[in-house]
A and B are shown apart, each in its own frame.
Chain A
Amino acid sequence: MTRPPTPSAGCHGCAVRSRVRPGRTAANGAAVAPRLLPAILLAILILSSPVLAADALRDGPAAPPDGTSRRSAAETGVGEVTSEGAATSAPAFDAREDSAAPVAPDLFDAETLAFLRKLHAPPLSRLPVQISARVAVLDTLARDQVSQATGEQAPADLAPAVAFLELYFNAGHYLGRPVLYVREATARAWFTDSLPPRFRPAFAATHRIPPAVLADEEALELLLATGRADLADLETVRDVPSLRSGLMIRGMEGPFRVPIDRLQLRYAAFFSADALRVLPDPNGGPWRTPEDFALRPGELGPRLSAAYAHWRRLQTAWRSRDADAVNGLIDTFPDEQEALAGAEALPPKLLRDLEVLYNRTDRATITWVGFAVSLVLLLFAVATERRGVRRLGLGVFALSTLALGAGFVVRWILSGRGWHLPPILNQFEAVTASALLGGLLALGLEAVRPRGWFALAAAFYATVGLLSCFFLPGRTGAGITAIPGILDAPIMSAHVAVIIVGHALVGMTLPISLALLGVAAVRGSGSETLRVIDRCNVLVAQLATWTVAGGTILGAVWAHAAWGRFWGWDPKETWALITVLILLATLHLRFVVPPRSRGTLTAVGCLLAVGAMLFNWIVVNYLLPGLHSYA
Chain B
Amino acid sequence: METALSALRALVRVASSTVLGLLLLALVVLYLSAASVPPSAAAMAGLLHTAPQALYAHGLFLALVGLLGANLLLATGLRVRFDLPRLGAHAAHAGTLVLLAASVWYGTHRLAGQSISYRTADGWTPVRHAYLDDTLILTLRQGTERDVQVPLQPVPDDPSLLQGDPWGRGLLVHRQSSAFAPAMQLAVTDGNDVQTVVLSPDIAGRESLRGEDYVLLFRPHLSDEEARELFEGDASAFSFDAGVIVVGSQGQAAVVVIRPDGQREVHALQPGSPTEVVLGGRAVRITPLRFLRIPVFTAKQREPESRFLLPYDEFATPGLGALVTSEEGPASMGELILSRRRVELPGELRLLGTEYQTYPGSGIPRDYVTRVEVDRGGAVEREVIALNDPVRLGPFQLSHESWLPASDPQMVILSAATAPGLWAVWVGCALISLGLPWAFFVKPLLLRRGGPEPERSEA
Contacts and interface: CB of A to CB of B under 8 A. Distances in A.
A582 B189 CA distance: 53
B25 to A, nearest CB: 5
A626 interface: yes
B56 interface: yes
Interface stretch (B202-210, B294-302, B435-443): B435-443
Nearest to B429: A553
Q: Which of B78, B399, B454, B458: most chain A Cβ within 10 A?
A: B458
B457 A9 contact: yes
B457 A567 contact: no
Interface string A351-366: 0000000000000000
Contacts of A5: 454-457
A553 B19 CA distance: 27
A285 B364 CA distance: 11
B432 A553 contact: yes
Given A482-B359, A488-B387, A575 B36 contact: yes
Interface string A210-227: 000000000000000000
A571 B361 contact: no
A87 B193 CA distance: 9
A8 B455 contact: yes
Interface stretch (A176-184, A318-326, A511-519, A556-564): A556-564
A248 interface: yes
Contact of B458 (A542, A577, A589, A591): A591
A485 B36 contact: no
Contacts of B21: 588
Given A284-B360, A485-B365, A546-B440, A7 B454 contact: yes
Given A550-B433, A619-B37, A87 B425 contact: no
Nearest to B25: A585
Contacts of A345: 361
Contacts of A248: 194
A624 to B, nearest CB: 5
Given A252-B287, A485-B368, A287 B361 contact: yes
A3 B22 contact: no
B3 interface: no
Interface stretch (B39-47, B119-127, B172-180, B258-266): B39-47
A486 B40 CA distance: 24
Question: Interface residue tally of chain A, by bracket?
Answer: 35 or more
B437 A546 contact: yes
Interface string B88-103: 0100000000000001
Interface in A557-591: 557-558, 560-569, 571, 574-575, 577-578, 581-582, 584-585, 588-589, 591
A9 B455 contact: yes
A578 B32 contact: yes
A283 B90 CA distance: 63
B159 interface: no
B429 A556 contact: yes
A15 interface: yes
A588 B22 contact: yes
B52 A569 contact: yes
Interface in B79-112: 79, 81, 89, 103, 106, 110, 112
Interface in B180-199: 187, 189, 192-194
Given A88-B274, A546-B437, A562 B361 contact: no
Interface in B266-283: 274
B41 A488 contact: no
A625 B40 contact: yes
Interface residues of B, number: 82
B119 to A, nearest CB: 22
B239 interface: no
A133 B361 contact: yes
Contacts of A249: 189, 194
A545 interface: yes
A571 B363 contact: no
B409 to A, nearest CB: 15
A135 B360 CA distance: 11
Interface string A224-242: 0000000000000000001
A132 interface: yes
A626 B360 contact: no
Given A132-B362, A571-B37, A592 B78 contact: no
B345 interface: no
A245 B366 CA distance: 38
A489 interface: yes
Contact of B40 (A133, A285, A626): A626
A563 B22 contact: no
Contacts, number: 196
Contacts of B12: 1
B455 A286 contact: no
A534 to B, nearest CB: 14
Nearest to A626: B40
Given A581-B29, A592-B18, A565 B112 contact: yes
A67 interface: no
A553 B432 CA distance: 10
A581 B29 CA distance: 7
Contacts of A10: 444, 455
A194 interface: no
B117 interface: no
Interface in A514-555: 542-543, 545-546, 549-550, 553
A326 to B, nearest CB: 28
A286 B363 CA distance: 7
Contacts of A284: 360-361
Contacts of A132: 359, 362, 364
A584 B25 contact: yes
A484 B366 CA distance: 6
Contact of B360 (A133, A492, A567): A133
A11 B439 contact: yes
Q: Which of A245, A281, A565, A568: most chain B Cβ within 10 A?
A: A565
A569 B53 contact: yes
B362 A130 contact: yes
B415 interface: yes
A242 B192 contact: yes
B422 to A, nearest CB: 7
Interface in B441-459: 441, 443-444, 447, 454-459
A249 B417 CA distance: 45
Contacts of A546: 433, 436-437, 440
A130 B52 contact: no
A586 B360 CA distance: 50
B419 interface: yes
Nearest to B18: A592
Nearest to A624: B40
Interface string A615-627: 0000100011110
A510 to B, nearest CB: 19
B189 A571 contact: no
Interface of B: 9, 12-13, 18-19, 21-22, 25-26, 28-29, 32-33, 35-37, 40-41, 43-44, 52-53, 56, 78-79, 81, 89, 103, 106, 110, 112, 187, 189, 192-194, 274, 285, 287, 289, 357-368, 387-390, 397, 399, 415-417, 419, 422, 425-426, 429, 432-433, 436-437, 439-441, 443-444, 447, 454-459
Given A1-B13, A133-B362, A485-B367, 19 more contacts: A2-B78, A6-B455, A15-B455, A130-B361, A249-B189, A284-B361, A546-B437, A546-B440, A558-B388, A563-B415, A564-B112, A565-B417, A574-B35, A574-B36, A581-B25, A582-B29, A592-B457, A624-B40, A624-B41
6 contacts: A6-B455, A6-B456, A6-B457, A485-B365, A556-B429, A577-B32
Name the 5 nearest CB pairs between A and B, nearest first: A133-B359, A542-B440, A5-B456, A564-B417, A133-B362
Interface of A: 1-3, 5-12, 14-15, 87-88, 130, 132-133, 135, 242, 244-245, 248-249, 252, 281, 284-287, 345, 482, 484-486, 488-489, 492, 542-543, 545-546, 549-550, 553, 556-558, 560-569, 571, 574-575, 577-578, 581-582, 584-585, 588-589, 591-592, 619, 623-626
